Structure 1
Amino acid sequence: MIADVKNWVKSSDSGFGKFCRGSFYAIKHIEMPVVPVLYKILFALHRSSKTIWHNTLQFIYFTPMFKSQVSGSKKRLTLQCGMPQVIGALAISLGDDVRMSGIATFCGRYHSDRIAKLIIGNNVDVGWQNAFSVGTKIELQDDVRLAGKVFLAGFPGHPLNCAERAKGKPDLPEQAGDIIIKQGAWIGTGATVLAGVTVGKGAIVAANAVVTKDVADFTLVAGNPAKVIKRVD
């Protein structure tokens, strides 16, 4: 019954049908008038209350909870937007003055004889939507900067053999490896660094680069696979 009425309103060429159709669209597109002074005040109140609530949650809940799960000195840790998701067996160590997005994921590969390690030094930025797959060890040395959506792929998660993948088998130990990001290096937005790679001191990895081999100190690399562009010392 209701569906028949809706179809009639949409398709009728009668005067009453057109009137109903016009009335429906007019009601559907009614907008609340904007009173500039009023809504500027409301927006300021909204933003202030949101900031206060966010900072309170970070201070009393998310930051101490995350600190309880990691080792290291971890002084003056700044977390934004909650706390990172930690998956699997993973030992995390934090230095001082780390700034970290809560919208990040740290995943540790299962080892029968040891626990994967994530080591973050002092004065390090871990950006929005970073994802770390820690195969054996990932180390971010002092003063490292990671932009948004950086992927440190220390293990692939699946074997190379398609029949083994179909059976749901895990990756092989030789597919996992350390990733070392040395002091002062900067990893750009959307970059991927693969297992076994060391990014040198003061090096820069350009946005969306895929780093498959070691990067020398004070070198800018870009592309897929990443290639040397120039020296930056």
Structure 2
Amino acid sequence: MFFKIFWIIRYILYSVFFKKAGFPGYLGRPIIILGMNKISIGKRVRIYPNARLEVHGKDAALIIEDNVGISQNVHITAGGILVIKKSATILANTYVTDIDHEYEDVNVPVLQQEMSIKKTEIGENCFIGMGVAIQAGTILGKHCIVGSNSVVRGTFPDYCVIAGIPAKIIKKYNPETKIWERANL
């Protein structure tokens, strides 16, 4: 716990470079941050060691709302407006992006082709398991649970469990019975 005092101090020192930084919060070490002035962080945000936060593009932004936990080795890349809503948890070794690389022109290397930006949003109170890839164009509703090592692309409604490669809904919360029920697969 003693080391977290240094993480809090680091957060305070870095806060002047962010677009917005709510307090309290902390940043583990080491951490890579590109485009700090385009990153908004809410209150009680915890970012653990080896995270990588990147914002590319003139009008791009990364918005991390209140009470978000981002574990070790998480890589988040924004080329548009990427939002992680309040109380979301993202476990270790996860990748979140709103960028796809174009590849159609076989005479041009992929990294030299245009990037395609697709709206990506992690909903309120979502829980993202370890090793997940959240691809460009993914919209997770409120309280979605994503199983470990899933590859996610698409729009998913509130209160569902998704898993797999590609990820599919495997359970939904039934508000009438107040039970998580298996989805018809």
Length-normalised TM-score, structure 1: 0.67
1:42-98 Cα offsets, whole Å, 9 max, x none, are xxxxxxxxx75x4454344x222321221335111022234x312257600011011
> What residue in structure 2 maps to residue 134 of structure 1?
78
CA distance in 1 between counterparts of 2:36 and 2:64 reads 17
CA contact (8 A) 1:137 1:177 kept: no
Among 99, 117, 142, the residue aligned to 1:155: 99
- Residues 1:56 and 1:203: Cα distance change in structure 2 (over 3 Å): closer
| Aligned partner letter, 1:101 | Y
CA contact (8 A) 2:17 2:36 kept: no
Q: Please tell me the root mean square deviation across aligned C-alpha atoms, in Å.
A: 2.1
| Aligned partner letter, 2:114 | D
CA distance in 2 between counterparts of 1:160 and 1:64 reads 44
The percent of aligned pairs where both chains have the same amino acid is 21
Bigger Rg over Cα: 1
- Residues 1:135 and 1:59: Cα distance change in structure 2 (over 3 Å): closer
Output aligned runs, 1:101-140, within 5 Å.
Answer: 101-110=48-57, 114-140=58-84
Greater helix share, structure number: 1
Greater strand share, structure number: 2
Output aligned runs, 1:157-196, within 5 Å.
Answer: 157=101, 159-165=103-109, 169-172=112-115, 175-196=116-137
CA distance in 2 between counterparts of 1:218 and 1:171 reads 35
Structure 1: segments with no counterpart, 5+ residues: 1-50
| Aligned partner letter, 1:77 | G
Structure 2: segments with no counterpart, 5+ residues: 175-185
> What residue in structure 1 maps to residue 152 of structure 2?
211
- Residues 1:127 and 1:56: Cα distance change in structure 2 (over 3 Å): closer
